[in-house]
C-alpha cells in the first residue's frame, strides 16, 4: 500500500513480537548500505525513518563516524539512541521525520514525529494489535473490517475541512501529533505520550527590526543550504509569490543552479505562470511551466480517495499533485515555500480577524444582542443575499472568536451543523472547536493569535498533509526550508510589531528578502495556489452542495 512512497526498494525485519517494514525512496547513500530498517551491530536496536535528518553529518561526527556502515542519514538514529537515549536524540536531531525505534532488550517501541509535523505517522490499537504506518490506507488494509468510522470525525470535518489531529476517520487510530513521542512498553502494553518541543513564548525575544532582519536572513540561508544536501537531483516549486522566490534566491546564493517548476491555469485571473517566469528569469533558473485546463470530475474523485484516505477538502491539493508530477520527471527532491504565511504572518484573513475583534470591542454587547435578534429573523435559503449578510453580521458581532476563525477558514460554525449532530448522534455538549481551543491564546495580539492557531492546526493537518500526500504519490520528496526550526523559533519569539514590520503582513520577511528579489514580487498581492473554482468548479461541485458535502459524497460517507 505504501509502494508509491518508496519505489526504489523494500526492507523488513521481525522477531516474535514486532514487525518493521520499510519502503525506500533513495535520497542519500543510494547503495544497499542505505537500506532500512537499520540495525545496530549487535542487533539490539532496530530503526526505520521516513524523511530526512538534515544535521546528520554533525551527529555522525559527535557519535564517531568510524562506527557507521553507511552514508545514510538514517543510521544516526541507531547510534544516537544507543549513546544518548531517546530524549537527547530528539533534542539533537533536526529535520523532517517520522520514525520508529525498537529497543529489543528493553522491549520498548518509540514512535516520534518532527517538531512541525512535516512527515506523517498514523498509529493505534485494533484487535489486540498495535500498528503504525505513514498513511492511513496501510492501516485500513491491515485491519480491514475491524475498523469502524468515528462519527465525530465526520462531524469535525465540516468545521475544519480536514479531520483534526489526533483523530482520524477511524475509531482507535490516531495521527501522531507534531513534536510528539509515543513510548510503548511491550511487557505490559503501557503507552505513554509526551511532547519533546514547543514554540517559544510569543514576543519573548527583544530584538529591534534591523537585528531581527539580519538574523532572519542568516537562518534562511542556513536552512536552504542544509536542505540542498542530496545524492539525487533537486528542484524547486516556484510561484509568483515571495515565499518560493526567497527559497530559490537563497539556493542560487548558495551556489546551486536551480531547476524550477510552475503550473498555471487556463483562467488568467488565477494563473501565476507569468509572474513565476519573470522571477525565474531574474534568478537565472532552468524553468519549466505547464498550463492546465479543467479536469473531469472522475479524476478528481479518484485523487481524493487515493491520496488522502479520509475527508480532506484543500482547494490546492490537486494542483500540488500536478506540479509534483511535473517536477518528478526531472527531480527526486523539491524545495518549496510552504509555511511562509503561517511563520511570517501572511494571510489576508489575519488582518480581517484583527478588524473584527476591534469592531466587536467598540460595539459592545448591546449591538451583539441586536444583531442576533435581527439575523435570527432573516430567511436562510441557499444563495440569498440576505443569508450572506446574516453570516457576515453574525461572524463580526455574535459568534465567539473561534467561530470567527472557523468562518475565515471556510468551515461551518456550530449553528450550521444541527442536522449533522442529529444524523450522527453527536452529544449536545460537544465542543465544535475543540482542536482550535487547545491552542487558543486570547491574551496574545490578534494576528499572533491566528498564527499560533494555524501553526498547531491548519499547517500540519491541512497544508503539510496536502503537500506530503500529493508529492509522495509520485515519489517526490518535498522539503520546506521556511519551516526550519531555528527560523520558526526566531519568528514566533519576536514581538508582533517587529514581525509585521511597517504594519504590513510579512513585513519583516519582505524587508529581509526584498534586497534580493524584484520589487514586483514583494509588492504582488496574494493569489493562493488553488484551482479556479469560479470557472472550473461549478460543473463539478454544483451550486447546491458545500465542499464538505461533496467530499463526503466522493468518499461514499454520506
Region 309-313: what's the mean pLDDT?
A: 92
Q: Per residue in 408-431, is it b (16+ CB within 10 Å) or e — as a string?
A: bbebbbbebbeebbeeeebeeeee
pLDDT band at 42; cut points 50, 70, 90: very high
Which residues face 310 on adjacent strands? none
pLDDT band at 266; cut points 50, 70, 90: low
Region of poorest pLDDT, from 199-208, 305-314, 361-370: 361-370
pLDDT value for 543? 46
Region 370-395: what's the mean pLDDT?
A: 56
Nearest to 500 by CA among 508, 492, 491, 510: 508
Sequence-ordered list of residues with C-beta below 8 angstroms from that of 352, at least 6 positions apart, any chain: 408
pLDDT value for 295? 57
The most confident of 93-107, 258-272, 535-549, by mean pLDDT: 93-107
Choosing among 3.30.365.10, 3.60.20.10, 3.40.50.300, 3.40.50.720, the CATH entry for 3-195 is 3.60.20.10
pLDDT band at 28; cut points 50, 70, 90: confident
Q: Is the pLDDT of residue 393 over 70?
A: no
Sequence-ordered list of residues with C-beta below 8 angstroms from that of 4, at least 6 positions apart, any chain: 472, 473, 474, 475
Region 134-140: what's the mean pLDDT?
A: 97
Nearest to 94 by CA among 51, 136, 127: 51
Task: Kindly state the DSSP code that residue 503 receives in the 8-state scheme.
Answer: G
Q: Per residue in 509-540, is it b (16+ CB within 10 Å) or e — as a string?
A: bbbbbbebbbeebbebeeeebbbbeeebbeeb
Condensed to tens digits (0 to 9), the pLDDT of residues 90-125 reads 999 999 999 999 999 999 999 999 999 999 999 999
Cα 284 to chain centroid, rounded:
29
Which has the higher per-residue pLDDT, 113 or 374? 113
Q: Strand, coil or helix: what is 289?
A: strand
Which has the higher per-residue pLDDT, 415 or 373? 415
Distance CA(342)–CA(160), nearest Å, equals 17
Q: Is the pLDDT of residue 231 over 60?
A: yes
pLDDT value for 132? 98
DSSP string for 147-208 = --B-HHHHHHHHHHSB--TT--SBTTEEEPPTTEEEEEETTTTEEEEEE---PPPTT-----
pLDDT value for 272? 82
pLDDT band at 544; cut points 50, 70, 90: very low
Distance CA(453)–CA(341), nearest Å, equals 13
pLDDT value for 278? 93
Distance CA(285)–CA(280), nearest Å, equals 5
CA 484 to each of CA 113, 210, 211, 466, 491: distance values in angstroms, whole numbers, following the listed order: 15, 21, 19, 19, 11
pLDDT value for 95? 97
Q: Is the pLDDT of residue 379 over 60?
A: no
β-pairing verdict for 333-335 and 286-292? unpaired
Long-range contacts of 205-212 (CB under 8 A, 24+ apart): 205/490, 205/493, 205/494, 205/495, 206/495, 207/494, 207/498, 208/498, 209/498, 209/501, 209/508, 209/511, 212/490, 212/494, 212/498, 212/508
Which has the higher per-residue pLDDT, 542 or 63? 63
Region of poorest pLDDT, from 17-31, 47-61, 267-281: 267-281
Mean pLDDT of the chain: 89
pLDDT value for 338? 96
pLDDT value for 399? 75
CATH number of this structure's domain 209-346+458-531: 3.40.50.620
pLDDT value for 111? 98
pLDDT value for 443? 96
Domain residue ranges in the chain: 3-195, 209-346+458-531, 348-448
Sequence-ordered list of residues with C-beta below 8 angstroms from that of 327, at least 6 positions apart, any chain: 235, 237, 261, 288, 334, 476
DSSP string for 309-328 = SS-B--TTHHHHHHHHHHHH
Distance CA(530)–CA(264), nearest Å, equals 10
Condensed to tens digits (0 to 9), the pLDDT of residues 140-157 reads 999 999 999 999 999 999
Q: What is the pTM of this model?
A: 0.91
Condensed to tens digits (0 to 9), the pLDDT of residues 442-466 reads 999 999 999 999 999 999 999 999 9
Do domains 3-195 and 209-346+458-531 share one topology? The answer is no
Q: Strand, coil or helix: what is 20?
A: strand
pLDDT band at 541; cut points 50, 70, 90: very low
Which residues face 193 on adjacent strands? 182
Q: Is the pLDDT of residue 386 over 90?
A: no
DSSP string for 410-450 = TPPPGGG-HHHHHHTT--TT--TTHHHHTT--TTS-HHHHH
Sequence-ordered list of residues with C-beta below 8 angstroms from that of 526, at least 6 positions apart, any chain: 241, 346, 347, 348
Distance CA(273)–CA(255), nearest Å, equals 25
Condensed to tens digits (0 to 9), the pLDDT of residues 470-523 reads 999 999 999 999 999 999 999 999 999 999 999 999 999 999 999 899 888 898
pLDDT value for 264? 81
546 conformational bin, left if phi > 0, alpha if psi -120 to 50, beta if neither: beta
Helix axes 464-472, 297-308, angle to 10 degrees: 100
Condensed to tens digits (0 to 9), the pLDDT of residues 164-204 reads 999 999 999 999 999 999 999 999 999 999 999 999 999 99
Q: Is the pLDDT of residue 526 over 70?
A: no
Nearest to 459 by CA among 95, 245, 178: 178
pLDDT value for 380? 52
pLDDT value for 297? 46
Q: Is the pLDDT of residue 402 over 80?
A: yes
Which burial class, exposed, middle or buried, applies to 442 when counting CB atoms under 10 A from its CB (0-12, 13-18, 19+)? exposed
> CB count, 10 Å around CB of 266?
13
Contact 343, 491 (CB under 8 A): yes
List helix spans (H) across 71-150. 75-92, 136-143
pLDDT band at 382; cut points 50, 70, 90: very low
Distance CA(274)–CA(268), nearest Å, equals 9
Give the rounded percent of residues in the chain with a pLDDT score beyond 70.
84
Q: How many residues does the chain have?
A: 558
Distance CA(491)–CA(215), nearest Å, equals 10
Give, for 96, the enclosing helix (H) or strand (E).
strand 95-103
Query: What grid cell was written down for 122?
Result: 498514523
Amino acid at each position: 500500500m505504501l509502494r508509491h512512497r518508496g519505489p526504489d526498494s523494500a526492507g523488513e525485519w521481525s522477531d516474535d513480537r514486532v514487525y518493521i517494514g520499510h519502503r525506500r525512496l533513495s535520497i542519500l547513500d543510494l547503495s544497499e548500505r542505505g537500506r532500512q530498517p537499520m540495525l545496530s551491530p549487535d542487533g539490539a536496536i532496530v530503526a526505520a525513518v521516513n524523511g530526512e535528518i538534515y544535521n546528520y553529518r554533525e551527529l555522525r561526527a559527535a557519535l564517531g563516524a568510524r562506527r557507521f556502515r553507511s552514508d545514510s542519514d538514517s543510521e544516526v538514529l541507531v547510534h544516537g539512541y544507543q549513546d544518548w537515549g531517546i530524549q537527547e536524540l530528539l533534542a539533537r536531531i533536526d529535520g523532517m521525520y517520522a520514525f520508529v525505534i525498537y529497543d529489543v532488550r528493553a522491549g520498548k517501541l518509540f514512535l516520534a514525529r518532527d517538531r512541525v509535523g512535516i512527515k506523517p505517522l498514523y498509529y493505534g490499537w485494533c484487535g489486540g494489535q498495535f500498528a503504525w504506518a505513514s498513511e492511513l490506507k496501510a492501516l485500513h488494509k491491515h485491519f480491514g473490517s475491524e475498523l469502524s468510522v468515528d462519527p465525530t470525525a465526520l462531524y469535525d470535518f465540516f468545521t475544519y475541512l480536514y479531520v483534526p489531529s489526533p483523530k482520524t476517520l477511524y475509531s482507535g487510530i490516531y495521527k501522531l501529533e507534531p513534536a510528539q513521542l509515543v513510548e510503548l512498553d511491550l511487557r505490559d502494553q503501557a503507552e505513554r505520550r509526551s511532547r519533546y518541543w514547543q514554540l517559544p513564548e510569543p514576543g519573548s525575544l527583544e530584538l529591534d527590526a534591523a537585528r531581527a532582519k539580519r538574523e532572519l536572513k542568516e537562518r534562511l540561508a542556513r536552512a536552504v543550504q542544509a536542505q540542498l544536501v542530496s545524492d539525487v537531483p533537486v528542484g524547486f516549486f516556484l510561484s509568483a509569490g515571495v515565499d518560493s522566490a526567497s527559497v530559490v534566491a537563497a539556493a542560487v546564493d548558495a551556489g546551486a543552479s536551480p531547476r524550477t517548476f510552475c503550473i498555471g491555469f487556463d483562467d488568467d485571473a488565477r494563473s501565476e505562470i507569468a509572474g513565476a517566469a519573470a522571477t525565474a528569469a531574474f534568478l537565472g533558473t532552468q524553468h519549466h511551466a505547464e498550463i492546465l485546463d479543467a479536469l473531469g470530475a472522475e479524476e478528481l474523485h479518484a485523487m481524493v480517495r487515493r491520496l488522502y484516505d479520509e475527508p480532506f477538502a484543500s482547494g490546492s491539493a490537486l494542483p500540488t499533485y500536478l506540479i509534483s508530477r511535473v517536477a518528478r520527471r526531472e527531480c527526486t527532491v523539491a524545495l518549496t515555500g510552504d509555511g511562509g504565511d503561517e511563520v511570517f504572518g501572511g494571510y489576508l484573513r489575519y488582518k480581517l480577524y484583527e478588524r473584527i475583534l476591534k469592531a466587536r470591542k467598540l460595539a459592545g454587547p448591546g449591538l451583539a444582542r441586536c444583531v442576533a435578534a435581527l439575523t435570527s429573523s432573516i430567511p436562510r435559503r441557499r444563495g440569498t443575499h440576505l443569508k450572506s449578510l446574516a453570516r457576515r453580521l453574525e461572524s463580526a458581532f455574535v459568534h465567539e472568536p473561534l467561530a470567527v476563525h472557523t468562518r475565515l477558514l471556510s468551515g461551518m460554525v456550530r449553528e450550521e451543523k444541527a442536522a449533522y449532530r442529529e444524523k450522527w448522534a453527536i452529544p449536545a455538549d460537544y465542543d465544535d472547536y475543540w482542536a482550535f481551543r487547545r491552542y487558543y491564546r486570547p491574551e496574545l495580539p490578534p494576528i499572533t493569535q491566528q498564527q499560533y492557531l494555524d501553526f498547531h492546526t491548519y499547517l500540519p493537518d491541512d497544508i503539510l498533509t496536502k503537500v506530503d500526500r500529493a508529492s509522495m504519490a509520485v515519489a517526490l520528496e518535498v522539503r520546506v526550508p521556511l519551516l526550519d526550526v531555528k527560523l520558526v523559533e526566531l519568528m514566533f519569539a519576536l514581538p508582533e510589531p517587529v514581525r509585521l514590520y511597517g504594519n504590513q503582513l510579512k513585513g519583516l520577511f519582505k524587508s529581509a528578502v526584498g534586497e534580493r528579489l524584484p520589487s514586483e514580487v514583494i509588492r504582488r498581492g496574494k493569489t493562493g495556489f488553488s484551482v479556479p473554482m469560479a470557472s472550473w468548479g461549478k460543473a463539478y461541485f454544483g451550486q447546491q452542495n458545500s465542499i464538505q458535502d461533496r467530499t463526503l459524497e466522493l468518499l461514499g460517507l454520506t
